[in-house]
Structure 1
Amino acid sequence: MSPWCVLLLSLTLPEALQGQDPTPRPHMANFQSEQFQGQWFVLGLASNTYRREDRALLNSFSTTYQLNKKGHFEVSNAMTRGKRCDTWSYVLTPAAQPGHFTVDNKGEEPGTFSEDVQVVESDYTASALLLSVRRAAGQTIVRISLLGRNWNLPLGTLRRFACLVQAQGLTRDNIAFPAAL
């Protein structure tokens, strides 16, 4: 096991699957919002709510992060579903630590929830790993996103994605890779 994975495993516990709040995670001390903004492709997803049979429902999609005047990210997503394009959006409000955000859910979805999003790793030009923890109705949903500026990932990125997935107590059955169009 790589030293990065050992460090990540030692700093996190796979408690999310039991519905407990996860422990603090490593963060990017020098996160650069300006460099992170722009279009990304979602190349891989993992979640404690995914099952093997759900994989066929996930199509490729893009996500765009645009900084607004307040320094919040306006996030827009677009996914093809047959001949139509589904879109959805939300706002990420910066939290105390660099690269940490909360989802602003003002009226977007029914019900009350809180969601924290963290950029775990990014080189800004090729790939990024995001970790999202959503709490709603007594359930904790963990989601890990593998983002790429294009469909080619730098060497080792998939290994780091798999390591983060494992550190959150997820398995291969919880991973989906949308097909490229």
Structure 2
Amino acid sequence: MAAPCSLWMALVLLGALGVLPAPARASEQPGFQRDQFLGRWFAVGLASNASWFLEQKDNQAMCLIVVAPAAPEHGQGVLNLTTGFPRGEEYETRSMLLTPTNTPGHYTYTAPYSGIELQDLWVETHKKYALLYTVCADGTGFHLATLYSRTETPQDAVKDKFTAFAAAKGFPKEDIVFPPNTGKCM
């Protein structure tokens, strides 16, 4: 059974965190443009220090992500991030609201069940890919790096950039994965 991927999996399974030394803080992307982050993405690269991830990293599957403006009642600049992922023979979707901070490209999210606050920073967003870095605000040391791509097969140069990005955030090479497309991420 393929494990759910990316940010949603991090949110659902925060209770099972593994701890590494404090991750390097991400910085603001100069000229961040929110509109470049909107639309359909594939989660094609992952790295995390969460124990569930380390145990299941070989079973991860590519996920489909859709980022859209949230309904106006949620506030200005709030994004709705919906993740679709295979779970056995089923296909599940989960949505979350990302609230912008005063730093361009920086969003927060509070997990509904645990109340744990996550700080998400879109470090680098391009037309064809985005590098994301997520840290838990509670000081546990949890962190997650994700590569989103507009296509299911990013160029090797983009994968290399993600590998270097994740390594710079403290992830060992063996904990950086590129989940396969199981054909169920639509």
TM-score band, normalised by shorter chain? 0.7 to 0.9
Q: Which residue of 2 aligns with 1:100?
A: 106
Count residues in correspondence. Answer: 158
Question: Structure 1 unaligned runs (5+)?
Answer: 1-15
Q: What is the alpha-carbon root mean square deviation over aligned residues?
A: 1.9
Give matches, 1:66-145, under 5 Å: 66-68=68-70, 69=72, 70-105=76-111, 108-109=112-113, 111-123=114-126, 125-136=127-138, 139-145=140-146
Q: Distance in 1 between matches of 2:141 and 2:107?
A: 17
Q: Which has the larger radius of gyration?
A: 1
Identical columns (%): 27
Amino acid at match of 2:45: G
- Report the structure, 1 or 2, having the larger strand content: 1
Supply the AA of the counterpart residue of 1:63. Answer: I
- 2: CA distance between counterparts of 1:128 and 1:88? 20
TM-score for both structures, normalised by structure 2: 0.77
- Indicate whether 1:153 and 2:154 are aligned: yes
- TM-score with structure 1 length normalisation? 0.79
Contact 1:114 1:134 in 2 (8 A): yes
Confirm or deny: 8 A CA contact 2:118 2:137 kept in the other structure: yes
Tell me how far 1:24 sits from its aligned partner.
3.9
**Is the partner of 2:159 in helix, strand or coil?**
helix
Relative to structure 1, the CA distance from residue 163 to residue 94 in structure 2 (aligned partners, 3 Å threshold; closer, same or farther) is same
Provide the C-alpha distance between the structure 2 equivalents of 1:145 and 1:179, rounded to a whole number of angstroms.
14
